[in-house]
Structures are given as C-alpha cells and as structure tokens.
Amino acid sequence: LNSRHGAITQLFTYGQYILFKSGTAAMGTLSSGEILESFQHLREDLEKAAHAAYIAEMVDRLTEDAEPNSWLFDQLLAAFRALEEGKDAAIVSHIMEMQLLSLSGYSPRLTQCANCGNQQGEMWLSAGEGGVLCGQCRGRDPYAQVIGPGTLKLMRLFQQVDLRRLGNVNVKPATKRQLKWAMRLLMDTHVGVNWKSRQFLDQMDKYDLKE
C-alpha cells in the first residue's frame, strides 16, 4: 500500500493495468493502471468484504489461468456491484456458487427427479445422484434430504439468473438456512475445495461478527 501503485492494487479494485512480462515468468511487472471502480465500500464492510473474498476465491480457483471468460468476468463484476449496493450478500454468493458449479460441469438437475423425471410431489436433494429425487426414487440415496419448495424454487432461479439484472431478493431465514445447507452439499460433493474465505464466513455466522 505504500508503493506508488498502492491505490490501484487495493483489494477488489476494478481497473485497467499495463503489465510487462519477460521470458516464461508467470507473473508480470505492473507498470501503470487506471481505477475504473474502486469498490471501496466492500473493503469497509466486514460482511460484504467476506462474501466478496469468497466469490473472488471461487472464480480464481475454479478457472484456468490465461483462459479469458468474458461472461464470468461480467458476473464477477456484477456480484461486486450487487454487494456494494446492499443486496443480500448470501444470495449473491449462492448465485455465484451455482454458476461456477455449472461452469465446472456439475449443474444439478432441479426441475425433475434426476432418476425417473417425475416433477410432482415432495423432493429430496441428492448430491450423489446429481439433483433432486422424488418420493419413489429417494431410496437410491440414503443420505438424500427433503428440500422445501421455496428453497428449490430459488435454486432453479439461480441456474438462470444474470447477476447484472438481479433485483432485490427477500428470503425467509428458514429458507436461507436450508439454501446454505443445499449449496454447501453440492459444492463440497462436486468441488471439494477447502475454501479459506468460506471458513471466515462461518466464523462470522457463529460469533455474529456481522453486527
């Protein structure tokens, strides 16, 4: 932060940068840059910063270096903007989780039973079976757990939503708790990464650090 590039290299800063690379070095040397959006409020709010860090870590660890993805970059930028605007941070993070699951090839089947295609009745979430199971098929996974219709509706929405067009989302606390469980189950089963930033989010929830 004391260097001449301190302002343009602040955490979460969106800018245009000029780098010089020599030989086969993976990292370049920063020559200059221009801040486009500083996202200062993300750094000043503990909850927003924690979710922004988790989102950034997911994008970093689930994508390949030097492989451009303009759509994902737009979603990352939109996620930071949504957090800064005060939209529900947990919901924004869950949307990014769902999008990155899909990008990694593990998009769960949520519109119908993953085994028989049934769309009626109560559903059970099974990460091992790749989505939801109906009452007749839930025996295929002894660890499958029932998932509420409100939670399931949100998860289906997350598979389609564009964060650039995200409005205000009001979710009941009970639904948010089940949503957190469901997304954790899918992420941990199919991705299996030890997320450092998510551990801090858990500590925040445990000790009510958000307040």
For 12-31, write each residue's pLDDT tens digit. 999 988 878 776 666 778 88
Provide the whole-model pTM: 0.89
- The residues, any chain, with a CB within 8 Å of residue 3's CB and separated by 6 or more, are 9
Note the residue count of the chain: 211
Terminal-to-terminal C-alpha distance of the chain = 28
d(CA 167, CA 203) in angstroms, rounded, equals 28
Q: Which residue has the higher pLDDT, 11 or 56?
A: 56
pLDDT, tens digit (0-9, with 9 covering 90-100), for 31-45: 888 889 999 999 999
The token pair at 96 is 């990014």
Distance set, CA 208 to CA 45, 52, 63, 173, 200 (Å):
14, 18, 32, 15, 12
Helix or strand (DSSP H, E) at 4: none
- At residue 198, φ and ψ (nearest 5 deg) are -70, -30
Q: Quick one: which of 150, 144, 149, 148 has its CA closest to 131?
A: 144
Distance CA 84, CA 196 (A): 22
Cα atoms in the 13 Å half-sphere on the side-chain side of 68: 1
User: Is pLDDT at 92 greater than 60 in this prediction?
Assistant: yes
Please report the pLDDT score of residue 175 as a whole number: 96
Top pLDDT among 209 and 82 is at 82
Contact 152, 98 (CB under 8 A): no
Measured CA to CA, the distance from residue 119 to residue 117 in angstroms comes to 6
